[in-house]
Chain A
């Protein structure tokens, strides 16, 4: 028998074992026709369309996109990155919620998370640096949209949605900043709240509403917590949905320049 290369041997093994599983009733109930995970998938133009069309991803992507739009150098993937960071932040954030109480215990909870929870420190770091990164990436995304003139007709309104998304991103980050309940958190938020109180006419009211009082207390902590884990994520998801929908309805990605 001829000696098989490693690659051929791998192919032989994987073809034999995989096919039966991929053809099973169970697998075909999960993977719709055209899925690369289904038995008998072959690379054809029709199947390439099916991969998207018969997939939940069809809610995000059309079957075909403009050729220049897939060049990484056009969008720099910044919008997609913002979205991806949001998802990472949601996952790590939910994980953090298991170990966190928005009360006098907040600080102790964070300390315990860092010292006695497996991967606690790593996940907290990912959540924090990811949040900073998201602010930066959303800002860069906005700049790339501006430099491409991609806000011009018919995309004017999507820019407006985008500005709302930028503000929501900032609010999300700002409300999260208070939660560790350390000196950095409370004073950064106090400074931010004081800046908000310089708003003409309603300044004092805005600060009072935000802080649930005249200064940052545990009442503020609870308020920021609810805004951070529920209110703003809820709102931002709605606006993201509109944003992505408009990208497609406005005729896909703008350009070429």
Chain B
């Protein structure tokens, strides 16, 4: 006999002991052939299965032949479904065998519609657990009101693009982009302003001594914090009336950034001093031709 590792033997002995309600030592002894195998009294339920076969009476289809040969084979050797209880085979072989023999092969040929090719099925498996039939991916989602992308989305898109294009061409035809004198590192304009989208930041920086590098910390963290918004805001609602705090915060941010940017663009002149655009003019060269247009 093949040497079965001890730990595997023990594990199966435990399983066997649990199934048959005997001690582990007993099960181990049985498995090693040191004592007679335990016979379970309550026979597993016998299920009658009636399955119609598409076999024609005149020409026995090949599917039938193996069945006929199988019956006697089963009587001698333990049926394949019984393999887990190999040791019990000799005891049980008597019970199922007559039943199978009782199904005469010629009878099948006579009444082909009522062939029992599996007259008895021994159920040897037990219910371990019930796994709910829940798919990993939702195959059928809730019905949503949908429309065809063509034309209901693509047409409006196309029209918006054309409108945007027309707007941009028109804007570019009437507004000249600025081009000042050639770059000269030795002549610093006063004031020197960043592009408009950084002017809010430049304005904010002007309030503190920029040498205090700490100023950048809240700003940098603030911008990185922007990316973290979905992970900070755990409120699942997206109805505006149920997320007033978030909306308030963002609106504060918009108002603050907007105000700082407008101040930076329009209200700052030489030396970063406060100027009024309607009195002192606008110190923002990007708008050069906008301002002096006409």
Whether A187 pairs with B226 at a CB distance below 8 angstroms is no
Whether B254 pairs with A143 at a CB distance below 8 angstroms is yes
**B203-250: which residues lie under 8 A (CB-CB) from chain A?**
205, 210, 213-217, 220, 223, 226-227, 229-231, 233, 235-240, 243, 246-247, 250
Q: Chain B residues with Cβ under 8 A from A85's Cβ?
A: 164
Main secondary structure of the interface of B (DSSP, over half): helix
Interchain CA distance A64-B154 in the complex, whole Å: 11
Whether A198 pairs with B168 at a CB distance below 8 angstroms is no
Q: Which of A49, A66, A187 contacts B189 (CB 8 A)?
A: A187
If A124-B177, A195-B198 touch, does A49 touch B193 (CB 8 Å cutoff)?
no
Whether A199 pairs with B182 at a CB distance below 8 angstroms is no
If A160-B227, A184-B286, A195-B201 touch, does A107 touch B164 (CB 8 Å cutoff)?
no
Q: Which of A88, A147, A155, A217 contacts B165 (CB 8 A)?
A: A88
CB nearest neighbor in B for A49:
B148
Q: Chain A residues with Cβ under 8 A from B161's Cβ?
A: 80-81, 84
Interface size on A, residues (CB 8 A): 84
Interchain CA distance A177-B214 in the complex, whole Å: 28
With an 8 A cutoff between CB atoms, is A257 at the interface?
A: yes
With an 8 A cutoff between CB atoms, is B25 at the interface?
A: no
Q: Chain A residues with Cβ under 8 A from B165's Cβ?
A: 88
Contact segment of A25-33, A128-136, A233-241: A128-136
CB nearest neighbor in B for A156:
B230
Known A65-B146, A67-B145; 12 more pairs at CB < 8 Å: A45-B148, A63-B149, A66-B145, A107-B182, A111-B179, A122-B169, A124-B177, A129-B168, A135-B197, A181-B182, A194-B210, A200-B220
A-B residue pairs in contact (CB < 8 Å), sample of 23: A52-B154, A65-B153, A66-B144, A67-B145, A69-B153, A81-B160, A125-B171, A128-B177, A129-B168, A129-B177, A147-B247, A152-B238, A160-B230, A164-B227, A173-B197, A181-B183, A183-B189, A187-B193, A191-B192, A192-B194, A200-B216, A200-B220, A255-B238
Binding site for A on B (CB under 8 A): 144-154, 156-157, 160-161, 164-165, 168-169, 171-173, 175-185, 187-189, 192-198, 201-202, 205, 210, 213-217, 220, 223, 226-227, 229-231, 233, 235-240, 243, 246-247, 250, 254, 285-286
